[in-house]
Structure 1
Amino acid sequence: MLFDFILFMSVGTIYACGEVFSSVDRMKQLPKIEQKLIAACDRFLEHKHKIHGFAKFKRFLDSTRKENEKALRDETYVENPINGFRLLWRLSERWLAATTTSRTEKVIGDDDTVSDFFVKIRSSIKKVSLWPTADDITGAANGLVRLSLVFNLDINQLIGGSIGHYHTEPLTGDEVFAITKVVYQTEEKLELMAWLNKSVDLMTSENTEAKHADEAIELKTKLLASMKNRKRDDSVDKNINKCNGSGCHGDSLSEKLTSNGQNSEVHTTCHSMYEQLCRENTRTAADNSKLHCQYQTTSIPFIKAKAEYVHTDPPIMLFHDVISDIESYWIINTSRHMLSRSLMGKFNTSGEYFGKKRISQSAWIYDDLDVSAKLSKRIGLLTGLSTRLLEEETHAEPFQIHNYGLGGMYEPHEDSVRLYRQTGKEENKAVRNSGDRIATWLFYLTDVKVGGATVFPLLNTRVPVTKGSAAFWYNLKQNGDPDMRTIHAGCPVLIGDKWVANKWIREVGQMFRRKCALDRDL
């Protein structure tokens, strides 16, 4: 059969889930899948060239082939979020539209051949595990809007295909309107108006189908009516302005967190500081003068590591050249087919969910493999902490591997699991009696062109993504209490493909390695 190749793609490669937008690595596989679909269509049409019902589809195929060839020539094509959205939208929407024939387009005598052909395409596409869906379009559109807001991007330039020094083809009116419909579901009404105006202008100039243009104009009319009676609430602006004053220091804010971590003032201020740090390093020369670099010694005299202090109290360190390119590639290649959407836990329940605050896919790698075991020992050597992985009362957790998606990020959060422990929701036998996560080690497996930094909003500290390096910090004070100053976030990836591997180290096994302080406040 002409579409056996698609069936092979659906069963020959096994993936943990079908979602695509939340992993740039998965998006990179789409152009090759589309290429095989185009080739199969070409082979079929070679024998049906006299059938007039295929004329419109052939034009679609010719234009799609050109776009597909661009993506195949450049392996970093989808690392640009504009290209990533365009690819997802084309596969999800344009292929469906091109294989749906209206009654006015049918040709007498050719109906069955054309219809059967299109039905085969659509049914085969459904069997491809990585083929994007409407949910991927929604996620990708939200990602583009998130990037425009966090990085203060000019919408006209973004729609025009420009992100800083990176340029690509402009978005079409239909693509912009697809994004606009997603923005309409959010509270960003002023942002929505900018997208709506641009989509209407583009669809008018491109002579887009009247129904799409009419829908955009109708949506604009509704929005204007709702905004006319809506008073602007400037409470968020007030909280953002606080970030430029003395009320944003980590010590004062972290003290305001309640026992369940739900202080709205802290979280609002923390989020605004997080976005500011994602855009730029806000540290002054005076702040940087307190920092230093050193060779980190270990229990083996001739083994040392280059360590950079990016913050001193609490200490946050960036170790340079601590994982090789070969080791990084091994981790990526090993975890690639195990990726599934990263979850967020609910401390007051035993459940987990797909949170909008975390856009990535993740996998776990244990220490029963040579490379991962070697890396765990290296972490233990450099930190002085035990990283033994045990079936019960484990000293550390397995490596958690993350690949971020279109606009992928992880908003401000703490690594401490105190809330789960308080409610008895840590049910995994290995960690149930292992105490809290005393420290975090984070390997950076790839470079990121723009964005993706790890930031500590309450400490005004920003750690850039540097391939081969690793960030390290303590989540707990020496008295065992959570150090809320180390609330951190992964900034949205603007341009690039971000891979990281983190290891959480538990309290059990560290009693003689990181001793309690004499001062109860430390």
Structure 2
Amino acid sequence: MSHFNWSSVLGIFLHLIFNGGVHAEFYSSADAMQDLVQVEREILNATRSYLEEQQKQLDFYRKFLEQIKEEHDWVVEQTDLNEYLGHPLHAFRLIKRLVQDWDELVFDPIVSNAPREELREFVDSVVNELGYPNPSELHGAVKGIARLQKVYNLTTTDVADGLIDGVLYDSELSWRECYEIGVVLFDLGEYQRSLEWLQVAFVILRANPGQEENENFYLSDIKEYAALANLELGNSERSERLLNQILEKEPTNTSHLTRKYIEARKPGKSSEVNNPSWYANYTRLCQGKKLPEESTGRPLSCYLDGRTNPYFVLAPLQVEPVHLDPDINVYHRMLSQQQINSIFEEADKLTMYRSAVAGNAGKSTVADLRVSQQTWLNYTSPIMKSISRIIQFVSGFDIAGAEFMQVANYGVGGQYEPHPDYFEFNLPQQFQGDRISTSMFYLSNVEQGGYTVFTKLNVFLPPIQGAMVMWHNLHRSLDVDARTLHAGCPVLVGSKRIGNIWMHSGFQEFRRPCNLTSDSYKSAAYRN
């Protein structure tokens, strides 16, 4: 296809990228990413139609030119042009072509390019309806991949080959995709990880000679980025050596400017990552590994509970206790697939938006420690009325002061780093007391990753669709229980959907009364 046609299409998509059209964030929610699949399908079909129309137009131009050239060549071969042009019909046809045909049949269609405008209008309508990602989305997706590597100890080579935590997927990356990941990580200041991806890109490209027309140019470009990354990591000798390798083969390569830049500035410092104190336990549990524990003499075993509430007499609760003091229980088969579908139907009526992290005075901010999208469901629909009853019957609490159900969906490397659910200080004004308990429904299975982990209790829970996890965030004294620090591990493969309901301590005085002695001492050692 001609350069003209491709540049027209490129111009349309550059228009999309730099002129908005983004309705919401995509990479932080697997559900939102489904919209992008539809966007790409619509754009693919529209672009194919556009190119077909352009090809028809080009075929017409080509036929027109062949006809003109045939007559023009015949004219030029005439020994006497005056005799040829003296014929009135010959003169008429020449003037007609120059006055009318060239404009109407060639120049006007090229300038107006109706198929291109139709493509632009169609793509704009799709983007306005479904949205379109901008460059920041690419950064978010790359950070998600780097996060998965860090938490799950995944090598760059394995990820590039489609090998995720021991499972091989048909999704290996090309050298160019590895290179682009490396460049984005460099821009984000992740120099060591950037180097790893650049090295993989170099190996893949060099292992397939002849596949790229400008192979030497790209190999040099990868080396140049690697030189800059090494400089930032304090490896100035390695950086200079890489640039010399480029210039030995190509003395005129622009990397001599990069060498001057490197010579003019001081090397960076070797980056040593200082992870927070909870990080080792967090990553271990996310990988499904526990620390050895001494036997408490109280083995935990699953049981059926039909006594908590008469509602469960005929269909007892299927309880799996996973920790005692604080009690953490998994209630299996709490929701059927039909009920889960009803929750999704309610959520689809609302707008999903990026999950934020609570701050002072109830104010929230978006941060990478929490990567997901969410919305809130009230208790007016039949399915939500049913769930509110279930929560009250299982917990024994009054739902009068509870928050609406928060439905969340995790995207590329979606996670929520260790955090408590209680506020302790700066409670939002509308709260009736702090969050006394958490009820988390798993609304989907997750193929790999996405565990719920309690970093101070040596507990990890894989998501099981239809199950509910419940625990108390406050002691009976209503002091916060610091032992309940928990996290949502990054999703390796799949989509994680959960529904959270937080009950508040207001209205619960007679449902969970204080003991005669305070039980707050139990979590004193877990404060830090």
Give the TM-score normalised by structure 1: 0.72
Higher mean C-alpha deviation, range 39-48 or range 301-310: 39-48
CA distance, structure 2, for counterparts of residue 223 and residue 491 of structure 1: 29
2:47–2:119 Cα contact (<8 Å) kept: no
Higher relative contact order (CA 8 A, sep 6+): 1
Please state how far the C-alpha of 1:295 moved relative to its aligned partner: 2.3
Residue 279 of structure 1 corresponds to: 287
CA distance, structure 1, for counterparts of residue 204 and residue 127 of structure 2: 31
Letter in 2 for 1:20: F
1:408-453 deviations in Å (ceiling 9; x for gaps): 01111110022222xxxx133xx2xx10000000000111111111
2:42–2:126 Cα contact (<8 Å) kept: no
Matches within 5 A, 1:53-452: 110=110, 113=113, 123=124, 126-163=127-164, 164-186=166-188, 188-203=190-205, 205=208, 206-207=211-212, 214-227=220-233, 228=235, 229=267, 232=270, 236=274, 268-284=276-292, 290-296=299-305, 297-300=307-310, 302-303=313-314, 304-348=316-360, 351-388=363-400, 395-421=401-427, 426-428=428-430, 431=431, 434-452=432-450
* Amino-acid identity (%): 28
CA distance, structure 2, for counterparts of residue 235 and residue 36 of structure 1: 44
1:313 to 1:16, Cα distance in 2 relative to 1, 3 A: farther
CA distance, structure 1, for counterparts of residue 31 and residue 359 of structure 2: 30
CA distance, structure 2, for counterparts of residue 503 and residue 23 of structure 1: 20
Question: Is the counterpart of residue 513 in structure 1 residue 516 in structure 2?
Answer: no
Please state how far the C-alpha of 1:349 moved relative to its aligned partner: 5.3
CA distance, structure 2, for counterparts of residue 178 and residue 125 of structure 1: 27
CA distance, structure 2, for counterparts of residue 182 and residue 437 of structure 1: 40
Higher mean C-alpha deviation, range 171-180 or range 184-193: 184-193
Q: Secondary structure at the match of 1:420?
A: coil
CA distance, structure 2, for counterparts of residue 282 and residue 346 of structure 1: 29
Gapped runs of 5+ residues in structure 1? 54-106, 240-267, 389-394
Residue 21 of structure 1 corresponds to: 27
Letter in 1 for 2:396: G
1:174–1:208 Cα contact (<8 Å) kept: no
**Rg bigger for which structure?**
2
1:52 to 1:172, Cα distance in 2 relative to 1, 3 A: farther
1:40-59 deviations in Å (ceiling 9; x for gaps): 23333333324559xxxxxx
CA distance, structure 2, for counterparts of residue 20 and residue 294 of structure 1: 41
Please state how far the C-alpha of 1:513 moved relative to its aligned partner: 1.1
CA distance, structure 1, for counterparts of residue 378 and residue 126 of structure 2: 35
Please state how far the C-alpha of 1:398 moved relative to its aligned partner: 0.7
Please state how far the C-alpha of 1:292 moved relative to its aligned partner: 2.3
Residue 486 of structure 1 corresponds to: 484
Please state how far the C-alpha of 1:135 moved relative to its aligned partner: 1.6
1:310 to 1:350, Cα distance in 2 relative to 1, 3 A: closer
Please state how far the C-alpha of 1:280 moved relative to its aligned partner: 1.6
1:357–1:411 Cα contact (<8 Å) kept: yes
CA distance, structure 2, for counterparts of residue 52 and residue 224 of structure 1: 50
1:455–1:488 Cα contact (<8 Å) kept: yes
CA distance, structure 1, for counterparts of residue 449 and residue 395 of structure 2: 28
Q: Secondary structure at the match of 1:459?
A: coil
1:310–1:316 Cα contact (<8 Å) kept: yes
1:498 to 1:513, Cα distance in 2 relative to 1, 3 A: same
CA distance, structure 2, for counterparts of residue 17 and residue 51 of structure 1: 35
Please state how far the C-alpha of 1:455 moved relative to its aligned partner: 0.3
1:16–1:340 Cα contact (<8 Å) kept: no
Letter in 1 for 2:51: L
Letter in 2 for 1:507: S
CA distance, structure 2, for counterparts of residue 452 and residue 184 of structure 1: 27
Q: How many residues align?
A: 414
Please state how far the C-alpha of 1:507 moved relative to its aligned partner: 0.4
Higher mean C-alpha deviation, range 136-145 or range 332-341: 332-341
CA distance, structure 1, for counterparts of residue 193 and residue 224 of structure 2: 17
Residue 33 of structure 1 corresponds to: 39
Q: Secondary structure at the match of 1:468?
A: coil
1:190 to 1:40, Cα distance in 2 relative to 1, 3 A: closer
CA distance, structure 2, for counterparts of residue 460 and residue 339 of structure 1: 36
Give the TM-score normalised by structure 2: 0.71
CA distance, structure 1, for counterparts of residue 457 and residue 362 of structure 2: 31
1:443–1:502 Cα contact (<8 Å) kept: yes
1:339–1:361 Cα contact (<8 Å) kept: no
Please state how far the C-alpha of 1:346 moved relative to its aligned partner: 4.8
Letter in 1 for 2:416: Y
2:50–2:119 Cα contact (<8 Å) kept: no
Cα RMSD after superposing both structures: 3.1
1:204-231 deviations in Å (ceiling 9; x for gaps): 5442767765543322111122322555
Residue 101 of structure 1 corresponds to: none
1:234 to 1:26, Cα distance in 2 relative to 1, 3 A: closer
CA distance, structure 2, for counterparts of residue 29 and residue 485 of structure 1: 39
Letter in 1 for 2:460: R
1:489 to 1:172, Cα distance in 2 relative to 1, 3 A: same
Question: Is the counterpart of residue 469 in structure 1 residue 467 in structure 2?
Answer: yes
1:446 to 1:484, Cα distance in 2 relative to 1, 3 A: same
Gapped runs of 5+ residues in structure 2? 1-8, 60-106, 236-266, 521-528
CA distance, structure 2, for counterparts of residue 320 and residue 43 of structure 1: 51
Letter in 2 for 1:302: V
Letter in 2 for 1:140: A
Q: Secondary structure at the match of 2:447?
A: strand
CA distance, structure 1, for counterparts of residue 184 and residue 123 of structure 2: 25
CA distance, structure 1, for counterparts of residue 272 and residue 405 of structure 2: 43
CA distance, structure 1, for counterparts of residue 280 and residue 348 of structure 2: 33
Please state how far the C-alpha of 1:520 moved relative to its aligned partner: 1.5
